[in-house]
Structure 1
């Protein structure tokens, strides 16, 4: 008897799911109905930035957690003809350190439209400023993503 109760308990959710897909959801000839436009749909943004043709976005970039912890991005702003990210890097070891900093520039929807990289060498125990800039006809706002530090 307990086995039968378990079987029924397991089958009940499946039966309910199948009932939800009844003929009421079908259009003419049993074809699924098409979704209708929502009255609450929003218009697409008037301004857009798109990735320029020929720009290749790397799938992998150097990234070492210890070095990344020593790098801070403090700025992300439009420039004349493009966009730039900036920040500082600190050489916390007893020797000079070189950082390769990669930044992705994205739309609000996280689409990467450009990327840039810089190399900065910081003397032992000191901090240095860095900047990554890209030439890009920008419409609207972009976000800067510190993608990797190697």
Structure 2
């Protein structure tokens, strides 16, 4: 399909904390009407509420990033919740959903 001229500019800096990455899982990367979506779970093994910021790139199978989305996920202590990040854009038939950034928000 070609380059998506309406894609948002990619963020220049993406927070990523390897210590919290193990608490977030990507479980789905799939087409949706008019775009693409990523879904997963986030767990909080700690004793205080936490908010994760999850950045997902939507790339071609050749690793060209066409767009991105992010999710802010609030997780109570000791719980696991679902998260979802999606974007409407002209996607290719097959896409990948790498997650370059997972961090906590204070």
TM-score (norm 2): 0.91
Which one has the bigger helix percentage? 1
Number of residue pairs matched by the alignment: 103
Structure-to-structure mapping, 1:13-32, within 5 angstroms: none
What RMSD over aligned residues (CA atoms) do the two structures have, in Å? Answer: 1.2
Q: Map 1:60-99; keep pairs closer than 5 Å.
A: 60-99=13-52
Are 1:136 and 2:66 counterparts?
A: no
**Considering only CA atoms, is the larger Rg found in Structure 1 or Structure 2?**
1
TM-score, with structure 1 as normaliser: 0.65
Structure 2 unaligned residues grouped into runs of 5+: none
User: Higher relative CO (CA 8 A, sep ≥ 6), structure 1 or 2?
Assistant: 2
Contact kept in structure 1, 2:4 and 2:90, CA below 8 Å:
no
Moved over 4 A (4+): none
Shift of the 115–72 alpha-carbon distance from structure 1 to 2, 3 Å rule, reads same
**Residue aligning to 1:108:** 61
Aligned residues of 1:100 and 1:120 also touching (Cα < 8 A): yes
